[in-house]
Structure 1
Amino acid sequence: MRQSAAVISRDDRSLKTLETTLGELDIEMVNCPSGQAALEMVMTGRCATLIVDFDLPGAEEIIRMATLLPPSQKPVLLAVASRAWPGTGQAFQSGASRILYRPVEPEQIKEALKAEKKIKKTTRRKSERYEVKTLVYLEIETGTLPGVSIDIGEHGMAIQATDPVPMSSNLAFRCVLPGTDITLQGYADVMWASDQGRAGLFFSKLTPVARKHLKQWLGKRSSQSKRKSKDPHVVRNLMPPRDAEVSYSASGLSEKSESAEAL
């Protein structure tokens, strides 16, 4: 099966060089219209490489989102940047595996892909099996905050966002249930949040149809899982790590737990 690379760039010269060079490596270039489209291509397994031009706004956020993915989903991450500051600094700090300096040369691309794929192959062999993640979008006062799901349960989800999640209630969210084309959307209360962007959300409002889809998805996941649990979807699975420094909602987790038991 031919491999694909998701590319986000508006520079014609870079795009032409990338398309030609990737073609020589039998890799299809997918010119993505947005960062969201590129991340979705990566997370659904359609692209194993992500190349982002740092001349575009939001480039750093796209790379940072990709670095949050588990080894089984994480793509080869390449950044296209000029040698001048701040482009180079932003590219380094974003977590990109390699930087392709402008003007992009074919040998740069080939060498970067060869080195990174060798590392990735070794990492995948050594790593344990990870659960598939999905992108989660939160609608906050300043705009849309993207994140990656850590765990999804019947009553809520834990996520890792690129920036701290504000403590608030009735926060609109949406995501695609992993392994499906079903979009889950509704409202959630932030139960806890850390300065590093990790947060626990309690579903405060889901439509009957959305809740039905969620229960069906959870049922399939439970039947396929080898891990046994009396109740794998209880609120305690959404609790923060013991060593994490977090802020809690004013209502407290105990009230959320009681509400969950009543559902």
Structure 2
Amino acid sequence: MTLESVLVSRDWQEISVLECILGSLHIGVAVESDPERASAKLSKSKVDAVIIDRDLRGTESLAASLCSSQSNGDSVPLLLLSGSPGRHDLPATGATFFFEKPISVEQAVRTLSAARNMMLTGRLRYYRQTLAIPVSLTFGARTKWSVQLTNVSRGGIGVRTRRPIDISGPIKVRFSLPGMKGSVQAKGELAWTDDAGNAGIRFVEIPEHLGRNMQLWLEKQYFAH
């Protein structure tokens, strides 16, 4: 799966630089020269980022709408704004990143690399990788279950058990992901369960290095599909 962006601009120099850098970062880009067409496109399709040239007439309402959605906590694209050096209003708009024109390659690489990390984090926040591997669950000091893992995400795992989980309290989780060195060991809690033996376990504590390795593993699985 590829990260996607929309660039709203008529500035050929800006378009040329940003298209080149976005491509090198494996971010797809659709260029729209008309703000109204861009707005219509965004209402019908999901993208990860929108770059708006604020020197282009008619972009005020589009930028304001996206900023308002971000401040309300809605799931919206990452917003990046560009403008001439004389535009001192950009920082007050609420956008995440800014470009000052003319945009240099160095500035584009630095800003878009940081933006890509945020875009990827947003995608992976809700991504679940399905797989069937054994997982060990330990409740308290003595009770230990060997169950089937059905999916994994940054925030927890889904499991299938022979009988519904009716034990409360902290859960120690241990499993090994294909292609990842070492096992994942974390502390969790029961998020939900049903009568068929399916359950969700939310991570509440996981070592930093394991969390980072899981993030990299999930990224590989995500882009492989």
Q: TM-score, normalised by structure 2?
A: 0.47
Structure holding more strand per residue: 2
Q: Which has the larger radius of gyration?
A: 2
